[in-house]
Amino acid sequence: MEILNIKKMPPSRILLLFFLVAIFIGSFLLMLPGATTAGNEISYLTSLFTITSAIAVTGLTVVDVSKVFTPMGKSIILIFIQLGGLGIMSFSSLVFLLIGKRITYHERKILKEDLNAESTGEVTDLIKRIIMMVFTIEFIGAIFLTLGFLRRMPLKRAVIYGVFHSVSAFCNAGFSLFSDSLEGYSQNVIINMSVAFLIILGGIGFAVINSSIMYITTSKKRFNLTSKMALFISIILTLVGMGLFLLLEYRNPKTIGEMNLFYKIIASFFQSVTTRTAGFNSVPMGDLTPGTIFLFCILMFIGASPGSTGGGIKTTTFGVIAFYVVGIVRGREDIEVSNRRLSWEILNRALAILVISVAYVSTIILLMLVFDDLGFAETIFEVVSAFGTVGLSMGVTPEMNQFSKVLITITMLIGRLGPLTFALALGEQKQRHARRYPKENILIG
C-alpha cells in the first residue's frame, strides 16, 4: 500500500491526485437529474469534459452552458470554477482554518507547490490574504457587471449574471451564460473594462497582488523580482497584443471593421487581455484573420503569471528565457534582470517547462490531426487554448470526436497543474548521483 501513503508522496503527485478526485466527484454531480434541462441529458464524457474545464478554469465546452444546464447545474459549474481558481489545497486550507484545524508542515509543502509560494513559512498568512483578496475583488466586480447587465435585463437576472461572470472572469475561466460569450456586449464599456480588469487581477498572480498591497499600505517600498517580472511581461504582452490585434483586424468587417476608433481600441484591449488566459470573446473567433489566429496562439501559449488562476508556460518563464537570449546576444555571462543575477537552476527549469510544453502540445496536435477532421488551424487553436486554460475556440469544440475530447480534457488538466508539475507527478523525484562525467563541448547553432 506504499502508493497510497499520501505523506510519502511528493507534493506534485498529491496535487494531481486531489484534482482527479475533485473532477471525479464533480462529473457525477453534473449528471444529477436536476443539473440539466429537459431533453438535454448529457453523457458522462460531456460531464467530465465540462467539469475538467471548470476546475481547470478553461472555459471550453462541448455544449451550450446557457441552454443545457439548469440553475443547479450552472451553480455546480460555478463552484468548481471557484475551486479551480483558488486551488483545491487553498480551499481545503480555508475550511481547516475556519474550523480551527492547524495546517501541518506536509500540507504547507503542498500549498507551496500549489500557490508557487517562496517558502512554506509564509503559506498560512498568504492563504488568508488570498481569500480576502479573491472575495473582495469578485464582489466589487459583480457590482460593476450587474450595473452593466441592468441595461438589458431585470435586476434579479442582472445580479445572477453579474456574480457568475465576475467569478468566471477573476478565475480566468471564460465560462459565460451567453451562447456567444460577450459578443453582444462588444460596445458596452462597463462590461468590457470590468471583465478585462478582473481577468488582469486574476491572471497577474496572488503574489503580485499581495506585493502591490504591501507596497501601498506598508513602508516596504520594494517589489520582489517575481512581481517585477510578472508585471513587466504582462504589460508588454497586453500592449503588443492590443496593437497587433488592432492592426490585423482594423479593416475586417466581421470583427471590428465596422466599429468607430474608440470601440476598436476597447475591443482590441479586451481581446489582448482575455486571449492570454481567460477565454471570453467580444468578437467572433471564427472570423479572425490568419495573422490574428497565429498571434492568439502565441499569447495563449505564454499564458498568465505564476501563482495565478491562469495557465500557459507563464509570463515569468517566457521572461527568463527572453532575458537569457538577450544576454547571449549581448555577450553577457549571467542572466541579469533589474540589477539582479538569476541562477542557472531557474533557467534550467524555464527551459524544461518550454521543451515539455512544446513537445506535449505538438504531440496532441499531431494526434488530433491524424484521428479527427477539424481543420489544421482549428486544431492548433483548440489544443493551445486548452493547454493555456484559455477557453477560446474557433467553434469546433462540439464537433470533436470522443478521442479528441479525451485528449483536450487531459490537456486542460495539465495546463492547470503546469507541465513541469505534471511531469514531476508522474516521474521520479530528483536524485543526486555520486559521480560526475567528464565535460566536453559540442557545436550548436
* pLDDT exceeds 90 at position 65: yes
Instruction: Give pLDDT tens digits for 24-54.
Output: 999 999 999 899 999 899 999 999 999 999 9
pLDDT of the residue at 111: 55
Reported in sequence order, the residue ranges of 144-237 that DSSP labels E, i.e. its strands, are none
pLDDT band at residue 124 under the 50/70/90 scheme: low
Q: What whole-number distance in Å separates Cα of residue 108 and Cα of residue 115?
A: 10
Instruction: Give pLDDT tens digits for 325-374.
Output: 999 898 888 888 888 888 888 999 899 999 999 999 999 999 999 999 99
192-229: b (≥16 Cβ within 10 Å) or e: bbbbbbbbbbbbbbbbbbbbeebeeeeeeeebeebbbb
Tell me the mean pLDDT in the region 116-136: 68
Q: What whole-number distance in Å separates Cα of residue 275 and Cα of residue 298?
A: 10
* pLDDT exceeds 60 at position 444: yes
Residue 123's CB is within 10 A of a number of other CB atoms, namely 24
* pLDDT exceeds 50 at position 208: yes
Instruction: Give pLDDT tens digits for 258-300.
Output: 999 999 999 999 999 999 888 899 999 999 999 999 999 999 9
Amino acid, single-letter form, for residue 97: L
* pLDDT exceeds 70 at position 216: yes
* pLDDT exceeds 50 at position 99: no
Burial class (CB in 10 A: 0-12, 13-18, 19+), 178: middle
Instruction: Give pLDDT tens digits for 151-165.
Output: 899 999 999 999 999
3-class secondary-structure state, position 198: helix
pLDDT of the residue at 423: 72
Are 394 and 382 in contact by the 8 Å Cβ rule? The answer is yes
Question: Distances in Å between the alpha carbon of 168 and those of 8, 160, 385, 428?
Answer: 35, 12, 16, 35
pLDDT of the residue at 212: 78
Q: What whole-number distance in Å separates Cα of residue 77 and Cα of residue 174?
A: 12
Are 277 and 199 in contact by the 8 Å Cβ rule? The answer is yes
* pLDDT exceeds 70 at position 382: yes
Location of C-alpha cell 482554518: 97
pLDDT of the residue at 142: 97
∠ CA 248-300-317 to the nearest 5 degrees?
120
- The pair phi, psi for residue 37, each rounded to 5°, is -75, 160
Q: What whole-number distance in Å separates Cα of residue 74 and Cα of residue 70?
A: 6
10: which DSSP letter?
Answer: -
pLDDT of the residue at 86: 77
For all residues of the chain together, what is the average pLDDT? 86
* pLDDT exceeds 50 at position 108: yes
**Of 293, 317, 158, residue with least CA distance to 234:** 317
